């Protein structure tokens, strides 16, 4: 990896982290296009720069996180399923799933179909939950289980969380914003665990690449969050589903 490639990864991560299209999947496919193999450093790089995107949420929502204990408590509760399952399946995810381009493409393809079908059948109820602080604790745990599906590369953490929340009776804007907040402990834990296990193996130049990707991820994630909040006011996620399907087909049939 060189500096330009690190910056490209940061841009891709920042743009895709909060959209329902799978940032991890896009990073793995970006590596494929640039001819990079899934080394231990690259897999760690793809995880660490995701926290650059998460930092943008902290900047935008710090009042909700730090000054509202009711919301902070709900974020922590929803994080529990992913924390437990992530620890249990860490080795499988890192050693097998993060190496499989076919897992990513099938997840992209099937996830795209699910998004489209869901949008055609979903109808938001008049009494849908609008206040994050009122989400029941049982609902939070189930939302956390939905998020944990995204441990499979290509599923999309935001897509799984948002669909789960909509199924459970949350308003679209509410679950989208909650998915932003839930990403904070999720990616902080993933980044900390991975760095703890692997940071000693990396050179100074590789750490510099991590830093560069982290910064660009942060900048472009700020723009992506604002885009998505404006997008959902007038649009469904069908276009993202179509995009996922097309991307999978392009890699299957055109990218060699």
> Residue 213 contacts by C-beta under 8 Å, 6 or more apart in sequence?
6, 7, 9, 10, 13, 45, 48, 49, 52
- Fill in the DSSP letter of residue 254: T
To 5 degrees, how large is the angle CA 103–CA 177–CA 185? Answer: 65
> How many distinct structural domains can be found in the chain?
1
Q: What CA–CA distances, in Å, run from 128 to 36, 139, 165, 234, 251? A: 45, 13, 10, 18, 39
Contacts by 89-95, CB closer than 8 A, 24 or more apart: 89/151, 90/193, 93/151, 93/153, 94/43, 94/194
CB 191 within 8 Å of CB 30: no
Place of tokens 């690190």: 6
- Fill in the DSSP letter of residue 134: G
Q: Higher pLDDT residue, 100 or 76? A: 76
Range 55-73 average pLDDT: 82
Residue-range definition of the domain harbouring residue 23:
3-253
Is pLDDT above 70 for 72?
yes
Q: How many helices (H) and strands (E) does the chain have?
A: 10, 0
The pLDDT mean for the chain works out to 85
Quote the pLDDT of residue 113: 95
3-state secondary structure of 170: strand
Q: What CA–CA distances, in Å, run from 15 to 7, 23, 143, 231, 252? A: 12, 8, 23, 14, 23
Quote the pLDDT of residue 195: 67
Helix (H) or strand (E) holding 41: helix 40-66
Confidence tier at 23 by pLDDT (50, 70, 90): confident
Quote the pLDDT of residue 172: 92
The pLDDT tens digits of the residues spanning 119-147 come to 999 988 888 999 898 999 999 999 999 99
Quote the pLDDT of residue 59: 87
Q: Distance between terminal CA atoms of the chain?
A: 20
> Residue 5 contacts by C-beta under 8 Å, 6 or more apart in sequence?
34, 36, 209
CB 49 within 8 Å of CB 218: no
Instruction: Report the b/e string of 176-214 with b at 16+ CB within 10 A.
Output: bbbbbbbbbbbbbbbbebbbeebeeebeeebeebbebbb
Is pLDDT above 60 for 89?
yes
Range 199-209 average pLDDT: 71
Confidence tier at 96 by pLDDT (50, 70, 90): low
Quote the pLDDT of residue 75: 92
The pLDDT tens digits of the residues spanning 141-188 come to 999 999 988 888 888 889 999 999 999 999 999 999 899 888 888 777
Instruction: Report the b/e string of 98-128 with b at 16+ CB within 10 A.
Output: bebbebbbebbbebbebbbebbeeeeeeeeb
């Amino acid at each position: 990896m060189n500096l330009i490639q690190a910056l490209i990864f940061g841009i891709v991560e920042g743009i895709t982290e909060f959209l329902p299209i799978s940032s991890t999947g896009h990073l793995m496919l970006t590596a494929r296009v640039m001819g990079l193999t899934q080394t231990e450093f690259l897999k760690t790089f793809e995880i660490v720069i995701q926290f650059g995107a998460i930092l943008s949420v902290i900047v935008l929502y710090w009042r909700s996180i730090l000054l509202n204990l009711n919301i902070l408590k709900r974020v922590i509760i929803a994080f529990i399923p992913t924390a437990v399952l992530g620890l249990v399946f860490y080795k499988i995810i890192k050693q097998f799933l993060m190496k499989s381009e076919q897992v990513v493409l099938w997840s992209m393809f099937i996830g795209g179909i699910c998004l489209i079908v869901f949008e055609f059948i979903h109808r938001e109820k008049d009494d849908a939950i609008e206040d994050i602080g009122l989400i029941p604790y049982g609902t939070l745990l189930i939302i956390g289980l939905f998020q944990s599906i995204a441990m499979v590369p290509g599923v999309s953490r935001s897509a799984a969380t948002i669909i789960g929340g909509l199924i459970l009776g949350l308003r679209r804007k509410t679950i989208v914003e909650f998915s932003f907040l839930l990403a904070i402990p999720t990616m902080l834990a993933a980044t900390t665990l991975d760095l703890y296990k692997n940071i000693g193996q990396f050179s100074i130049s590789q750490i510099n690449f991590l830093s560069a990707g982290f910064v660009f991820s942060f900048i472009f994630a700020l723009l992506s969050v604002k885009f998505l909040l404006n997008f959902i006011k007038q649009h469904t996620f069908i276009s993202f589903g179509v995009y996922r399907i097309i991307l999978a087909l392009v890699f299957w049939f055109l990218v060699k």
